[in-house]
Chain A
Amino acid sequence: MLQVNNLIKSYGSTQVLTGVDFKVNKGETVAIMGPSGCGKSTTIRCINRLTEPDGGEIIFKGVPVLELSEQQLLSLRKEIGFVFQKFNLIERLTVLENIILPVIKTEVEACEQELEQKALQVLEKVKLAEKATSSIKQLSGGQKQRVGIARALMIDPSLLLLDEPTASLDPILVREVLEVIEELTDLQDTAIIIVTHEVSFALQVADLILLMDQGRIVEQGSPAEIFVAPQSEVGQKYKKLLEYY
């Protein structure tokens, strides 16, 4: 479904990505892990070109993403759900409106009632149906992130990108978000790429783990391969961490 080859990105003189290669299949859950500043978030932002890569190749459903026109890129983004670290919700709107907003420009045929119905179903999935009419400001961090996830799911994405969805949450709230994401991994048609530091979570839900360091993937494999016999220095650190818990 998604193939990334030799992805390169730099900010000024700082090389952030130095040739990232990986592949994601349909329905697969991939966890990208690594120390802060290693280029995890940049990598997934490059997939839907929220960050423009300097070079490399991204093939999504057989389409070279970096060669897409502006209009085609916008269409591509409507197929890829994105969950931000800081939720990035529209503060002035209610929960329901936030969820409907991404589809108002695409599902023009659907009536408002149908959209609401669908939004409520999605909210049901993230266990927030009762907060539909609430203001964003009334929600906890965990709830906000769940709204963010629901918003990403509203477009029925074939690829869901989650950029450190629990990084802004306190440990108590992390659990409720991870539970929701865990349930999403059961979706057969949606591939998920999640950037996370949650080792146990990755171990539990990921089909593939990519370990990154200094702008490149230093090791990739199944959770068992990575955490049982890590080859890289980063992998060994994560193993130790897992043993510590």
Chain B
Amino acid sequence: MSKLVPQLDQIFARTDNLLTELMEVITAFGHLTETVEEINHLTTRLDGFGQGEFEIGQLQTTLQSLEDNLDNLVTLINRLNYAQSLIIEFQDFLVTTQAELRMQSNNLEPTSPYRQQLEELIANLAELESRIDQNTAEIIEVINNYNPLLTEVTSWQEDVTTVNQVLANLEAGDEERAQELVADLTDGDLFAELNEVQQQSLALDLVELEEEVASLQRLDFEAIVEELEYIQQALPKLRDEEITDSIDLIDQHLAGSVIPGAELSLLVPAEAELEGVEAIVEQQLGAGLSSYTSQVAIINPDLRGQIYQILSEVKTLLMALTAIISILFFLLFDQTLLINAIRLIERDQNKKQWIDLGSCYGCLTGASLLGTTFYLTGAEIPYIPFYISFLVGGVLGIIAAKKAKAMNEISQDEFRAGQAFGFNYAQIMQEIIIPTSKPGLLKLLNKRKVYF
């Protein structure tokens, strides 16, 4: 991306540069024909100087004009050479840009809209390159024909200059000497070679090339470059591959329909037509979906999913442990008082004790509290069924019942005193037993009811 964006940016500058040059060459080429004709005309005139009477002054004027035209011709040929180098350079640039684009495109997911854009761009550039190739082959060949002529023209130009300087020093009456010099000048195949160059064809090829290059500007480079630049700026510290990966990720999650690390597996009967199923899935879940089908089941470990699962299990386990510890504390600090009270009342009522009601109460309370807590909080012990929580709660309740006397012993003397006062059991609990118990929920709730 770091190479591609500046490269795509260069397309504008290079295209502009080439177009300007081509237009100037084409314009100059319009004068080439005139120049060559003028040179032809002037050389004909020079030939005429050798056959009849003439004035040296007229010859000088003609030679001066020839010298100017030759100068123009040299400039034009040089310009053609420069244009030729630009065209070759531009072709190379197109090839390099395509290669860069191809590399970036290959990094993207096949379904990525960015990849589609880049592929379109590559196709356009390839087509342009192909068309330019056809034109430039001819153009370069024609221009190459001019190159050997350039040396000759330059040499002849120097000769014309020399002759002109010599003529300037001749005195009147030296026309013969002048004729000899001119005859030397016109003796050669240069003009024939100049005429042989397919000037018209070259002019047409240049115009066509200019049109092709101009067509490059019609491609929507600007939008693509702008988008790529935005991505590059947004992800400045990433390598190109990472940026393309990021684009892929964004593409996949743009619709918000993909959960990271999650995978949707649809198992269909063997006789189902997979393409049809894929089409339905894409229709339901969006076109940006990455789907694959397989004839056999694949176990595909998903690291993120597994970590999430482990964390969930740890979370529920922690909740379960917290619930167990909290309820054990609650049973020990609060419910042991009630367990002792139940036992005391039972004894007071002098009933036959077939079963320990205190333990039963502890067991039921523990079971219902832990079971309900597990159910409401979603806590669970991995690999252990839900109903076991009731069992664990029951065991906790029985443990609490066993430790009840040590944890929250009720003074029987105070209990008897309460009875003697004419207090009912609730009043005894409220005024005498709970206030002397260990800190807990019961004591807290009882605070607003107790008289002392």
Chain A interfacial positions (CB closer than 8 Å to B): 48, 50, 52, 70, 74-78, 82, 84, 86-93, 97, 100-102, 104-106, 155
B413 and A50: CB pair below 8 A? no
- Least CB distance from B353 to A in Å reads 12
B350 and A52: CB pair below 8 A? yes
Instruction: Knowing A78-B422, A82-B420 are in contact, say whether A88-B413 is a contact too (CB < 8 A).
Output: yes
A50 and B452: CB pair below 8 A? no
Identify A77's interface contact among B422, B432, B435, CB under 8 A.
Answer: B422
Identify B413's interface contact among A77, A86, A92, A101, CB under 8 A.
Answer: A86
- Least CB distance from A109 to B in Å reads 15
A76 to B416, CA, bound (A): 15
Instruction: Knowing A91-B411, A92-B436, A104-B431 are in contact, say whether A77-B417 is a contact too (CB < 8 A).
Output: no
Identify B452's interface contact among A48, A82, A91, A101, CB under 8 A.
Answer: A101
- The residues in B between 404 and 423 inclusive whose CB is less than 8 angstroms from any CB of A are 411, 413-414, 416-417, 419-423
- Least CB distance from B394 to A in Å reads 32
B427 in contact (CB, < 8 A): yes
B414 and A102: CB pair below 8 A? no
B451 in contact (CB, < 8 A): yes
A90 and B422: CB pair below 8 A? no
A76 and B422: CB pair below 8 A? yes
Chain B interfacial positions (CB closer than 8 Å to A): 349-350, 411, 413-414, 416-417, 419-424, 427, 431-432, 435-436, 451-452
B416 and A50: CB pair below 8 A? yes
B419 and A101: CB pair below 8 A? no
Point out the residues of chain B lying under 8 angstroms from A48, CB to CB: 420
A76 to B423, CA, bound (A): 11
Identify B419's interface contact among A77, A93, A106, CB under 8 A.
Answer: A77
A101 and B422: CB pair below 8 A? no
Q: Pick 26 A–B contacts, CB within 8 A, sort by A.
A: A48-B420, A50-B419, A52-B350, A70-B424, A74-B423, A76-B422, A77-B421, A77-B422, A82-B420, A84-B413, A84-B416, A84-B420, A87-B413, A88-B413, A88-B417, A89-B417, A92-B436, A93-B452, A101-B421, A101-B452, A104-B431, A105-B421, A105-B422, A105-B423, A105-B431, A155-B421
Point out the residues of chain A lying under 8 angstroms from B349, CB to CB: 52
Q: Of all chain A residues, which has the CB nearest B349?
A: A52
B435 and A50: CB pair below 8 A? no
B420 and A105: CB pair below 8 A? no
A91 and B422: CB pair below 8 A? no
Point out the residues of chain B lying under 8 angstroms from A84, CB to CB: 413, 416-417, 420
Identify B451's interface contact among A52, A74, A88, A101, CB under 8 A.
Answer: A101
- Least CB distance from A108 to B in Å reads 11
Point out the residues of chain B lying under 8 angstroms from A77, CB to CB: 419-422
Point out the residues of chain B lying under 8 angstroms from A86, CB to CB: 413
B436 and A91: CB pair below 8 A? yes
- Least CB distance from B302 to A in Å reads 62
Point out the residues of chain B lying under 8 angstroms from A101, CB to CB: 421, 431, 451-452
Q: Of all chain B residues, which has the CB nearest A102?
A: B421
A90 to B451, CA, bound (A): 13
Point out the residues of chain B lying under 8 angstroms from A92, CB to CB: 435-436
A93 to B422, CA, bound (A): 19
Point out which of B413, B421, B423, B432 has the most chain A C-beta atoms below 10 A from its C-beta: B421
A182 to B413, CA, bound (A): 25
A86 to B420, CA, bound (A): 14
A48 to B423, CA, bound (A): 13
Point out the residues of chain B lying under 8 angstroms from A106, CB to CB: 422
A90 and B414: CB pair below 8 A? yes
A222 to B427, CA, bound (A): 41
7 additional A-B residue pairs with CB within 8 Å, beyond A77-B421, A82-B420, A100-B452: A88-B413, A88-B417, A90-B414, A101-B431, A101-B452, A104-B451, A106-B422
Q: Of all chain A residues, which has the CB nearest B421?
A: A102
A75 and B422: CB pair below 8 A? yes
Q: Of all chain B residues, which has the CB nearest A89?
A: B417
A6 to B251, CA, bound (A): 99
Q: Of all chain B residues, which has the CB nearest A73?
A: B422
- Least CB distance from B437 to A in Å reads 10
B421 and A78: CB pair below 8 A? yes
Identify B416's interface contact among A70, A88, A100, A105, CB under 8 A.
Answer: A88
A199 to B427, CA, bound (A): 39
A78 to B418, CA, bound (A): 11
A74 and B424: CB pair below 8 A? yes
- Least CB distance from A242 to B in Å reads 32
A105 and B452: CB pair below 8 A? no
A24 to B422, CA, bound (A): 22
Q: Of all chain B residues, which has the CB nearest A103?
A: B421
- Least CB distance from B203 to A in Å reads 119
Identify A91's interface contact among B414, B416, B419, B431, CB under 8 A.
Answer: B414
Point out which of B416, B422, B436, B451 has the most chain A C-beta atoms below 10 A from its C-beta: B422
Q: Of all chain A residues, which has the CB nearest B430?
A: A105
Point out the residues of chain B lying under 8 angstroms from A82, CB to CB: 420
